[in-house]
Each structure stands twice: as structure tokens, then as C-alpha cells.
Structure 1
Amino acid sequence: MKQSLSIAIVGAGPGGLATALLLKRRGHDVRVFERFEQAAPVGSGLILQPTGLSVLAYLGLLPAMLARGARIDRLTGADARSGRTVLDVRYDALAGGRFGLGTHRAALFDVLHDAVVAARIPIMTGTDAQSLHAMGDGIGFDASGLRHGPFDLIVDASGARSTLRRHAVRPVEPRPLTYGAIWATLDWVGEGFDPNALQQRYERAHTMVGVLPVGRVDPAGGEKAAFFWSLKPAEIDAVKAGGLDVWKSRVFAVWPACAPYLDQITDFDSLTLARYGHHTLLPQRGERIVFLGDAAHATSPQLGQGANMALLDAAALDEALRRSDHLDQALDVYGALRRNHIKLFQALSLMLTPFYQSDGRVLPWMRDTLVAVAARVPPVPQILGAMVAGTLLDPLGRIGLAEPDWTAAAGTMGSAEAPTQEKA
């Protein structure tokens, strides 16, 4: 679009901050609104996949992320009783030297937030958007008794608990998933753990414990790990009532090597409960409002795509506005750019979740026998690698982005230099 738009972005998570940077750079008048009194990250560790890393490279932020994160080359899982490997997904099954980046949400937030501040994009905190209203030729929203606007466009990046989603063309709400997890960010323990892998142990599909290296939360800090234990959120009170030592004994029985991590957990307050839900909002728009990230599509974290999908949404919205002549067309183009990729990964996540978090016996048996064998036969390793990398259906090419030189990027891990990219 040739004209500059006035745009309100609701939510200061990765998707919202990346959108602010992209649209500001395009010349739009952008403001970010955050419900909390201080913009801050929510959650523990995540894996930035090649898709999300490519968007950060386009923003010029890949060097800062590589300096903090931990390179991830594979995702592994083993049966707790036999020790047999039943999951081994490798990025090197794909050409080009791709890898994932284990990072803490706080590190990703800091890098994006610092860039937003440097770009002089206003962030208004303590502003909880509740409802939309037409304001002349534009749109505004109410928050805490105040009306903000008018704006040409509102971008809802407020997460799975969005209060604005009811203004979508076809609104849907998340369906709660049975299983969630408790997380802790702990000091990295090198002995017995792969510094370049997400490692997990399973008891069928009802029990899973995992360790993910996430690098440094802040540049001057030590190496950290995200430690997680799957459970039903409905059972958290019973777990707490049983006592910390009882829970630690249960985890130790599943994976004794985790003892150094368990020793760092002194109370249940050290653990954060994560609840998961599933919904897919299509189309990702309403009248002068567009939805991205978990506000538009949320699911379980089994494929590790959440933050990466939000970053892809941000880049797609930027591209849609660039190539369109008017706003309504741009919102339709945005939906078209992301629709197939979102539908595919939402379906894959929904299909695969019961293999790793459910009470059944048949699906985990299939995972540990039939699937584990098939996963070693080409082209299955390549397909699994592309699923985890997020590169199925080439979401980057559709939005005019190309991947950076991964080999060059890998050579700069831990330093302040890494290659960036331009639009393809």
C-alpha cells in the first residue's frame, strides 16, 4: 500500500513486537498496547525453528538471538523403561545445514523489545482491549473505561485468551486439551545431557519429562535449561498435596539422570503450569481487524511451532500490505498467504498430540514400534525434519522471504555476528 496506515497492535508478545517492527519499517504509524502493567515474557523455553529464525534474520535480529540461544540439531525421545530410542528427528536430514535454536522466551522478548524501543515505537501498558467500536472512517477499542483510536487497522496479537476474537468473521474459542505441563528454568547440567538436543523420556503417552538447552536468558548469565513434566492441569492440586519429594521421586523413577535438575527445584513455586488449547481461526480477520499468533491459531507444543507461526504471520501481514492496493484486499491476501500452512500444521499437531499426551495404550505402542521403525526409512526422516523445521509447503517463499546461509550462521553461534537476509 502506498499510503501510511495508523495501526494498533494489541499484545507485546513475539508476534506483536515483530509486527510492530516490520510495519514501522514499512512506514506505517504503529502503536503497541499491552494488557499488563509492564511488558514481559510469559513461559519458559522454546525452539526457534528455521522459519522463525528466517523472519528474525530479515529483521536483522538473528545475530542477537544466536548470541543467546543454544543450537539444536535433533529432537530425541526414549522409552523410560527400556531406554530404547523411539524418536530421533534430525535437522541434518534436510539439505542446507538447518538447525533449531533453543532459547528462553525472555531472551526472545528482550531482543524484540529492545529493537522496538530503538525504533521509537510507543508501547502503552496496562491497556486491556475488551471490545471494538467504529470511529468515523476507522476503528477503535475500549480498555479500562477508555476508548483508543481511531485506527485504520487493529492487529490482535494478544494470545490464546484474546477478548477480541469474537469480532472475527467466524469466531471460535480454544478447546482445552487434557494434558499440559509444568515447567522450570534451571541451570544447565552438562553431564549426561546433549547440549544440542531436546531430550525426552516417556512412559506410554501419560508421562513425559524433557530437557531443552536454552542458552542464556541474558548475555551475561550462565547457560540454562528448560525442564518440563507433562500432567493434566486438573491434577496439579493433587500433585502439590502429595508433596514435592513425592513428585521428585516420581520424576527420578522415570529419568534418574535428571537428579541434578530436581535438586535445583526447592518448591512448587519454582514450577509454572502451562495449559494448552486448540483452535484455528479462518479467516484470520474481521472488519478492520486481523489476528495472528495464538489469537488466531493455538495447539499443543508437540511440533514446537507456536512462536514461529506468530513470526510467520507477522511477516505475511507485512507482505500482504506491501503488495495490496487497499486495506480490505490486504487482509484477504494475508489470509491466503497463511491459510494452507496453518491448516496443515494445526492438523498435524492435533493428530500427533495423542501419541505423546494421552491415556491410551495403542497409540504410544504404535509410536514406539511401527513409527519408530518407519522413521528410519527414507523419505520419512526428511518429512519429519521438515515438519519440525516448519518448512512444509514453503511458508517463507509465499511471503517473499528466503532462508539465510545456515552454515555461515552456525559459524557465528555465541558471537554478535551472523548473516541477515533480504526479501527474495
Structure 2
Amino acid sequence: MTGKSVTIIGGGIGGFAAALALRQRGFDVRVLEQAEATAEVGAGLQISPNGLHVLEALGLGEALRAGSCRAQAVSLRDHRRGTEVLRLDLARLRAGEEYHFVHRADLIGLLSQAARDAGVQLRLLQKVAAVHPGAPVRLEMATGDSCSADLVIGADGLHSVLRGALNGVVAPFFTGQVAWRAVVPNLGGHPPEARVHMGPGRHLVSYPLRGGRMVNLVAVEERRAWTEEGWSHFDDPANLRAAFAGFGGEVPQLLAAVEQPGLWGLFRHPVARRWHGPGVAILGDAAHPTLPFMAQGANMALEDAWVLAACLSSIDDQEAALARYQELRRERCVKVVEAANGNAWKYHLRNPLLRGVAHLGMGMLGRVAPDRMLGQFDWIYGYDATKVA
């Protein structure tokens, strides 16, 4: 199928990774992005070894290392005093496995530039209103124009037009949790580790970005109030500081530096039942939106992109290639999403006695059997999509 025209809806991590992977295999690729620029601001993300395998295979491993912070540990901490409960030493990962913190804008810039250098066409201000699967696939634009392609890939996120065309519209379920996100200067010398500050009904995650100059913050609170889903809502920083007023250690200093935090409600979406149809496929959040509690959203999108490109380049029949892609990806993504769904409660124990016992147990196990604690994530980090595909 080399030489066929592929249109990718969405200029995010999954979209550009798929564009680059397909272009490297000889496909004619264009990316349609509805924004006026591809850069995103105000957000960090974690690239675990499974995501790094894909970036390495795309030829971007060294560039990722140059623009990110290599993580040394994950540190779980008591909210009130900031003292460490459990430390997972990432140096104990298997040989060749690395974990990195990177600004989302930096990773998208890296992927988009590599894709354009490889010959991918990028078209901005292109909002797709509808997709009609077929041979060829027809796209209707918000402007009233239309275009066609041999293959259309939906990498257009939570509110994917193509996901709806394949699966219909299913209302998401509000989890009863909201999250603030912010990036602040690293004034307190935050080390290259992810710190999870655990408290009753809430937790805060912090880790450095951009050579340690900045710190990414994600703060999650349980609440009854329903908050609209989305990435473009902002809140008064006083509300964030009030929600975490009982947190000690370095948290007050970090929150004092927040100027305009983003705020969004956390929703559960089912993993899409159908990932492909005649001439179309979906990947990333369009196929399997996930809560942030395993830090796997970007990594899953990278895996999807590689596997989809590998299937399309190695199987002559397009529909068979798309079916194989779903077969290879869906079960793993369901497992990751379910793990993320069940992870937040571990950080939010409200009963002081129960929380104390749980923290004591975690600390003891971490000291007695550190490899066992870290090894519980082998099924995620040890996965290499470039070999599976």
C-alpha cells in the first residue's frame, strides 16, 4: 500500500507519530490540524520506557533525551509533612529502560518537525466536521469544503469526529474528580523525580521539566460538583491553594508560584468497540481515553502510531491491516485504562488510621522488596511495540 494517500486528523502526539512512521514507510501523508499552530503550552508528560522504544525507532531518541529530564525515582509522600512514604528507584529498571519528563509542547515540536522534514504536509486551521468511510473516504470540513483520501486516521482526541462515526456517541461518566494543571519555576530545587503528595480525597503530582528549570504540577481533588470536560478551562489559583491548604513540605511553595492553572473534570470513557472501518482508523485518545493516574496517555498514542504504521506497511490488504492493528492494540489498552481507573483511590485515603497503616505497609514493602514494588509495572514499561508489531 506504499504510496497511498493518508490523511490524519489531529496534530498531536499520536497524529504526528503516525504521520512520521507512515511517511518513513513511503506513504503520502498530510495532517489536518484545527488550531492555528501545533504548539501546546502549560503541560508536562511522562515518557516511560515503552513510549521511548517508539521514539527510538522513529529516530528521535537522542533528541528526546536532549530536551527532557531523565527521571531517577518516583517518590510517594505524606501530604501533611511531605515526608517520603515509598521510593521507587527507576535506576532499578531493566538495562536499557529509561523514564523521562518532557513538556508536551517540546515533544509535539520534535515530532512535527521530524514529520515535516520527512515530507509530511501540515495544514493548519482545518476543522473536520464529518467523515464518511468508504473507498475513497470523504471528509467534510467546517468551511463547507470537502476532500478525500485512501485512508483517514482519527487522532483527534476525546471528542473525535471519526470515533463517533464508527461507534456512535456514548456519554462519558464523571468520576467525581477534577484536576488542576500548571507549570511553575523550579525555585525549590525539585530533583529529577516524580513526587506524589497523598492526602485525604486529593493528591498532587510534581516533576521537573526543561532541564529542571520548571516544575509540572497536576493536582487532583474529589468533589461532588460537576466540571465540564475539556483542556481549555482556567481557574483562580486561590481555589487551588485553598483545596491543598493542609499540605506541607514543598507543596505551599510550589502552589504559591501558580498564576493561571488549567482546570478540568475527569471523565471515564469506554474504550472504543470499533477502531476501524472502510478506509478509516482511530488511535490514541480517540480510541481509548484514559485517566492520568498511570501517566500512559502519550505512551499509548505512540504505541498505537507505530503498530498501525507497521500493520499497514506489512499487510497488503488495507482492511486486513486495520483489523490486525485493532487486534494487537485493543486488549492492552483496555488493561491500561482499567489500571488507571483503579489507581487514584490509593492516594486519597480519608481515614487517618487506614491511611497510616497503608503508608506504613507501603514503606516496609519498598524497603524489603524494592524490585517487587517496581516490578508490578513490568507489563507496562517492559512492552516494546516495535517488536510486537
Q: TM-score, normalised by structure 1?
A: 0.80
8 Å contact kept, 2:32–2:124: yes
Q: How far apart are residue 392 of structure 1 and its match?
A: 4.9
Which residue matches 2:29? 30
Do the aligned residues in 2 keep the contact of 1:168 with 1:287 (CA within 8 Å)? no
Match of 2:146 in 1: 148
Q: 1:6 to 1:366 in 2, by over 3 A?
A: farther
Task: State how far apart, in whole Å, the 1-side matches of 2:37 and 2:149 are.
Answer: 23
Matched, 1:322 2:313: yes
Question: What is the rounded CA distance, in whole Å, between the counterparts of 1:150 and 1:243 in structure 2?
Answer: 44
Residue 409 of structure 1 is matched in structure 2 by none
Judging changes above 3 Å, is the alpha-carbon distance between structure 1 residues 265 and 29 closer, same or farther for their aligned structure 2 residues? Answer: same
Aligned partner of 2:258 in structure 1 is 265
Q: Which residue of 1 aligns with 2:159?
A: 161
User: What is the Cα deviation at residue 378 of structure 1?
Assistant: 6.4
Is there any run of 5+ residues in structure 2 with no aligned partner, and where?
none
User: Which residue of structure 1 lines up, in the alignment, with residue 388 of structure 2?
Assistant: 398
Q: Report the counterpart of residue 215 of structure 2 in structure 1.
A: 225
Counterpart residue identity of residue 185, structure 1? V
Once the two structures are superposed, residues 100-129 of structure 1 have per-residue CA deviations (whole angstroms, 9 ceiling, x without a partner) of 111111111111122122223221222222
Tell me what 1:197 maps to.
193
Q: Decide whether aligned partners of structure 1 residues 150 and 77 sit closer, same or farther in structure 2, where only a CA change above 3 A counts.
A: same
Paired residue type of 1:90: D
Residue 241 of structure 2 corresponds to which residue in structure 1?
Answer: 248
The CA distance in 1 between the partners of 2:273 and 2:56, in whole Å, is: 28
CA drift of 1:227 comes to 2.0
Q: CA RMSD in A?
A: 3.0
Instruction: For residue 276 of structure 1, give the secondary structure of its aligned residue in structure 2.
Output: strand
Aligned-partner residue type, residue 331 of structure 2: N
Q: How many percent of aligned residue pairs carry the same amino acid?
A: 26
2:120 counterpart of 1:121:
yes
Give the CA deviation at 1:355: 2.3
Q: Find the aligned partners of 1:142 and 1:114 in 2 and give their Cα distance.
A: 27
Partner of 1:40: 39
Unaligned runs of 5+ in 1: 217-221, 400-424
Say whether 1:210 aligns with 2:183.
no
Deviations 1:152-209 (A, max 9, x none): 1110000112122122257655433321311111111344x3x2201121113x1212
8 A contact 2:158–2:286 mirrored in 1: yes
SS at match of 2:291: coil
Question: 2 CA distance for matches of 1:167 and 1:236?
Answer: 26
AA aligned opposite 1:106: A
State whether residues 38 and 109 of structure 2, in contact with CA within 8 Å, keep that contact through their aligned partners in structure 1. no
Shift of 1:259: 3.9
User: Which position in structure 2 is the counterpart of 1:62?
Assistant: 61
Other-structure match for 2:182: 184
8 Å contact from structure 2 (residues 133, 279) kept in 1: no
Q: CA deviation at 1:310?
A: 0.2
Q: Which residue of 1 aligns with 2:104?
A: 105
Mapped contact 1:186–1:226 kept (Cα < 8 A): yes
The code of the aligned residue for 1:196 comes to P
Partner residue in 1 for 2:95: 96
Paired with 1:365 and 1:298, the residues of 2 have a C-alpha distance of: 33
Aligned length: 381
**Mapped partners of 1:287, 1:173: distance in 2:** 25
Structure 2 vs 1, CA of residues 50 and 246 (structure 1 numbering), >3 Å: closer, same or farther? closer
Q: Which amino acid aligns with 2:202?
A: T
Report the equivalent of 1:336.
Answer: 327
Measure, in 2, the Cα distance between the counterparts of 1:57 and 1:23.
Answer: 15
Q: Distance in 1 between matches of 2:361 and 2:256?
A: 37
Separation in 2, partners of 1:83, 1:326: 56
Contact 2:236 2:261 in 1 (8 A): no
Structure 1 residue 37, shift from structure 2 partner: 2.6
- Judge conservation of contact 2:37–2:124 (CA < 8 Å) in 1: yes
Which amino acid in structure 2 is aligned with residue 47 of structure 1? Q
Inter-partner Cα distance in structure 2 for 1:329 and 1:246? 51
- Deviation, 1:318, is 0.9
